[in-house]
């Protein structure tokens, strides 16, 4: 029997009908907004066009196995899973359980994230699991845990921002990354209190114009110094909330001493932010009747990202903002399930409920739910970059399973990641499409998309939200929950692995009971009523929309002010084309672009990577708007198109990270990481830029073509 692996080969068109679960034509699906507190019916371009992916011509519709010639041939699910189980079992027998690694994703539902952690530790017996959220939330999470005793992106409902008159946003371009969010900034903007810290004049920074607030434009990587300087001003000008500090915090005196060296003139010298603007900013934060400090990836994706997020928390604490009904601190998640994806076991050191895997009581509780002994569970693994660095090396990971991630594009130092994937004995990728990572796989397993499955996700404010099946999945596509169940059975695993999302969620709730992220009072039935459900939501409660009103999660109920110290480093000399590269997102694309680059409207709007460069820098280097440029360093070389704009500092260039091939921004980024969180240094890379003259007909690489696919295999 010949299988047809993609819609293209059965004549389907993107956005049209397709093969349904009974091989009949699948009905089309449209997307519409609805009244919901966080987005109020608004969606960005990515949301409005998301249904087109369901019937994309490039979608994989059957398991694919790599052939000796390097191409892929379709296979039955039994054949593919038998091969995967055989290779995983063989690697465990020859090299030990930790020779098998798992790399997850922040876009997985809570049920999948939970089951992935359970599968890794019970069915595989491996400690080698981490996920791409390590590239996104880890520094903010580490800072929140040490300051508050718990990590939840926003410890208050998003709607609380509506009443604010002052909002400081550091390192987040929400106007492009989550456009519906900016509606919650309107109150502060109308009051002239929207403050945006960004080296670029981003779409969010432009909201501060015409009396809407203030745009602060520091040198890349100097955010920690900026925050220490603001704290110095708040303390020296006696703008602190003394009563709050005495009642609700510990550690203030150490902070006072540590920031004494960061007087405004010194901060100006290192950040480029003028002293008057520093003082104006500090005073505005202290004077606001409703003040919020929000951080994003721009200040967290550094080797000092945890300390920078901690410095932002310290500033919020000395102002008495955290744990009140009218002010607060929060961090903005970057992925669809960025909050829930890190709560239930994908992180290398965590068990469900945000428990530490090294805690004997946590191990005993979770092992009891899973029906195994605590001793059988592995210990803590290693964070994402260390996991990727171990691929294919002696004593490292020999077989890797990838779920919901495209590490060839999204991980730093991507040439090294690619070499690691090529050195593996066996690679399995679960995906919708042949992503850049899937092209290196031995087995590609097609999985359900968002509209084809039940599940839950947890928003940046800790609200647990139901996802319901809207359309049947194609015949050859399966949920990861079913895949875990089938592989666990083939591997002779202890415990049980359900493929029913409702059953998995019930088990997740049991496993989380008593943990920091306690879901034990939740169920699909309760969520289906439409009741807002914020964790922690233990049995008998009505949830916790606002954390910290009465106490913080440390044993004594007080927040920890942790003094942090900035490493003073010189900016790269501005000669021979040397500048500082920062990376980030575009409105039209998402993460590695594996999906959005396959939506015609989005791809046509932004078909290639463009390097933003200041006019003065462009003139100095002989660059022209629309001309091709080469961006390089010791890590690699990127070719792209120049975009000359006055909206960026002259010492800085910006490159989006959504594009593949020779346009991959992460060919240039370093594998250096924050020692506390494991966060890579994405936002401050020294590069050289030069104009590139190409022969006619050549140009930057576009989307990579689908690998050769043979259809002569039998089911």
Q: Where residue 664 sits, what CATH number does that domain have?
A: 2.40.40.20
CA angle 441, 447, 449 (to 5 degrees): 130
Q: Where are the beta strands (DSSP E) in 67-184?
A: 72-74, 100-104, 129-131, 166-170
Per-residue pLDDT band at 334 (split at 50, 70, 90):
low
Per-residue model confidence (pLDDT) at position 16:
27
SS (H, E, C) 184-240: HHHHHHHCCCEEEECCECCCCHHHHCCCCEEEECCCCCCHHHHHHHHHHHHHHCCCC
What is the tally of helices (H) and strands (E) in the chain? 22, 26
* Pair (320, 355) in one structural domain: no
Per-residue model confidence (pLDDT) at position 709:
43
Average pLDDT over residues 370-398: 96
- How deeply is 632 buried, as exposed, middle or buried, from its count of CB atoms within 10 A (0-12, 13-18, 19+)? middle
Expressed as residue numbers, the domain containing 658 is 578-691
In a domain, 35, yes or no: no
pLDDT digits (tens, 9 = 90+) for 478-513: 999 999 999 999 999 999 999 999 999 999 999 999
Per-residue model confidence (pLDDT) at position 534:
97
In a domain, 137, yes or no: no
Average pLDDT over residues 665-678: 91
Per-residue pLDDT band at 253 (split at 50, 70, 90):
very high
Question: Higher confidence at residue 289 or residue 90?
Answer: 90
Average pLDDT over residues 587-616: 82
* Pair (403, 327) in one structural domain: no
Percent of residues, the chain, with pLDDT higher than 90: 73
Residue 331 reports pLDDT greater than 90: yes
492: CATH: 3.40.50.740
Any idea what DSSP says for residue 439?
A: G
In a domain, 525, yes or no: no
* Pair (350, 260) in one structural domain: no
Please, are residues 98 and 348 in contact by the beta-carbon 8 Å criterion? Answer: no
Per-residue model confidence (pLDDT) at position 340:
87
Per-chain mean pLDDT for the chain: 89
In a domain, 230, yes or no: yes
567 CB neighbour count, 10 Å cutoff = 10
Residue keyed to tokens 């066996």: 426
Residue 593 reports pLDDT greater than 80: no
Structure tokens at 334: 């970057």
* Pair (178, 321) in one structural domain: yes
Per-residue pLDDT band at 4 (split at 50, 70, 90):
very low
Please, are residues 669 and 416 in contact by the beta-carbon 8 Å criterion? Answer: no
Per-residue model confidence (pLDDT) at position 246:
98
Please, are residues 186 and 208 in contact by the beta-carbon 8 Å criterion? Answer: no
Q: Which residues contact 283 (CB under 8 A, 6 or more apart)?
A: 233, 237, 239
Please, are residues 343 and 459 in contact by the beta-carbon 8 Å criterion? Answer: no
pLDDT digits (tens, 9 = 90+) for 73-121: 999 999 999 999 999 999 999 999 999 999 999 889 999 999 999 999 9
Per-residue pLDDT band at 348 (split at 50, 70, 90):
very high
Per-residue model confidence (pLDDT) at position 686:
93
In a domain, 65, yes or no: yes
* Pair (77, 165) in one structural domain: no
Write down which residue in 276, 297, 331 finishes a domain: 331
417 CB neighbour count, 10 Å cutoff = 23
In a domain, 650, yes or no: yes
Average pLDDT over residues 208-221: 93
Write down which residue in 276, 309, 331 finishes a domain: 331
* Pair (295, 343) in one structural domain: no
Identify the top-confidence range among 169-183, 552-566, 598-612, 649-663: 552-566
Per-residue model confidence (pLDDT) at position 41:
81
Asked if the bond preceding 403 is cis, omega within 30° of 0, the reply is no
Average pLDDT over residues 675-685: 90
* Pair (368, 492) in one structural domain: yes
Per-residue model confidence (pLDDT) at position 49:
80
Structure tokens at 220: 């890349």
Instruction: For residue 702, report the phi and psi dihedrals to the nearest 5 degrees.
Output: -95, -160
Residue 233 reports pLDDT greater than 50: yes
* Pair (454, 593) in one structural domain: no
Per-residue model confidence (pLDDT) at position 569:
67
Question: Higher confidence at residue 134 or residue 317?
Answer: 317
Residue 252 reports pLDDT greater than 70: yes
* Pair (351, 397) in one structural domain: yes
Per-residue model confidence (pLDDT) at position 572:
62
Question: What is the spatial distance between Cα 522 and Cα 511, in angstroms, rounded to a whole number?
Answer: 12
Per-residue model confidence (pLDDT) at position 14:
25
- Mapped onto helix, strand or coil, the DSSP state of residue 66 is strand
Task: Give the range among 46-50, 157-161, 500-504, 519-523 with minimum mean pLDDT.
Answer: 46-50
* Pair (686, 644) in one structural domain: yes
């Amino acid at each position: 029997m010949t299988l047809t692996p993609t819609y293209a080969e059965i004549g389907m068109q993107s956005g049209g009908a397709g093969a349904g679960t009974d091989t009949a034509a699948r009905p089309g699906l449209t997307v519409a907004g609805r009244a919901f507190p966080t987005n109020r019916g608004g969606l960005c371009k990515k949301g409005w066009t998301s249904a087109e992916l369901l019937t994309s011509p490039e979608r994989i519709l059957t398991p694919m196995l790599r052939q000796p010639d390097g191409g892929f041939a379709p296979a039955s699910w039994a054949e593919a899973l038998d091969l995967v189980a055989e290779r995983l079992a063989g690697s465990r027998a020859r090299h030990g359980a930790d020779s098998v690694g798992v790399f997850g994703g922040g876009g997985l539902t809570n049920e999948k994230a939970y089951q992935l952690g359970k599968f890794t530790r019970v069915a595989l017996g491996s400690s080698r699991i981490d996920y791409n959220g390590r590239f996104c939330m880890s520094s903010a999470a580490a800072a929140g845990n040490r300051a508050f005793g718990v990590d939840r992106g926003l410890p208050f409902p998003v709607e609380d921002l509506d009443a604010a008159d002052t909002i400081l946003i550091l390192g987040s371009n929400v106007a492009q990354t989550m456009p519906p969010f900016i509606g919650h900034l309107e109150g502060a903007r109308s009051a002239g209190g929207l403050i945006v810290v960004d080296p670029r004049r981003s779409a969010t920074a432009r909201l501060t114009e015409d009396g809407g607030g203030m745009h602060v434009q520091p040198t890349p990587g100097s955010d920690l110094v900026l925050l220490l300087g603001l704290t110095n001003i708040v303390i020296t000008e006696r703008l602190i909330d003394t009563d709050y500090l005495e009642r609700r915090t510990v550690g203030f005196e150490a902070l006072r001493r540590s920031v004494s060296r960061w007087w405004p003139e010194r901060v100006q010298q290192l950040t480029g932010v003028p002293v008057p603007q520093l003082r104006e900013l500090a005073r505005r934060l202290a004077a606001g009747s409703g003040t919020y400090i929000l951080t994003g990836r721009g200040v967290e994706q550094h080797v000092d990202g945890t300390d920078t997020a901690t410095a932002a928390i310290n500033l919020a604490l000395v102002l008495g903002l955290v744990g009140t009904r009218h002010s607060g601190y929060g961090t903005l998640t970057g992925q669809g399930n960025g909050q829930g994806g890190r709560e239930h076991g994908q992180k290398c050191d965590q068990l469900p409920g945000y428990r530490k895997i090294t805690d004997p009581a946590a191990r005993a509780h979770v092992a009891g739910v899973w029906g195994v002994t605590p001793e059988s569970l592995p210990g803590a693994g290693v964070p994402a970059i260390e996991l990727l660095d171990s691929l294919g090396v002696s004593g490292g990971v020999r077989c890797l399973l990838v779920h919901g991630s495209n590490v060839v594009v999204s991980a730093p130092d991507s040439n090294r990641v690619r070499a690691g994937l090529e050195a593996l004995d066996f690679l399995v990728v679960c995906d919708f499409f042949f992503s850049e990572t899937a092209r290196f796989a031995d087995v590609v397993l097609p999985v359900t998309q968002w509209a084809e499955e039940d599940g839950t996700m947890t928003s940046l404010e800790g609200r647990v939200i139901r996802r319901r099946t809207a359309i049947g999945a194609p015949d050859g596509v399966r949920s990861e929950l079913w895949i875990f169940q089938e592989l666990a059975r083939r591997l002779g695993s202890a415990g049980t692995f359900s493929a029913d999302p409702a059953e998995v969620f019930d088990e997740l709730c049991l496993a989380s009971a008593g943990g920091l992220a306690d879901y034990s009072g939740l169920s699909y039935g309760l969520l289906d009523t439409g009741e807002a459900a914020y964790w922690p939501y233990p049995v008998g409660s009505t949830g916790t929309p606002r954390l910290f009103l009465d106490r913080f999660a440390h044993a004594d109920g007080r927040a920890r002010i942790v003094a942090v110290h900035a490493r003073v480093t010189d900016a790269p000399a501005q000669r021979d084309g040397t500048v500082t590269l920062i990376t980030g997102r575009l409105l039209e694309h998402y993460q590695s672009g594996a999906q959005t680059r396959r939506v015609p409207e989005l791809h046509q709007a932004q078909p290639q990577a463009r390097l933003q460069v200041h006019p003065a820098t462009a003139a100095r280097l002989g660059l022209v708007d629309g001309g091709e440029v080469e961006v390089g360093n010791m890590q690699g070389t990127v070719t792209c198109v120049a975009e000359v704009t006055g909206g960026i500092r002259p010492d800085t260039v910006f490159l989006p990270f959504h594009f593949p091939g020779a346009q991959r921004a992460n060919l240039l980024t370093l594998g250096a990481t924050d020692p506390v969180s494991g966060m890579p240094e994405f936002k401050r890379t020294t590069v050289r830029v030069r104009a590139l003259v190409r022969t006619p007909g050549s140009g930057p690489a576009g989307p990579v073509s689908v690998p050769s696919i043979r259809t002569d295999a039998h089911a």
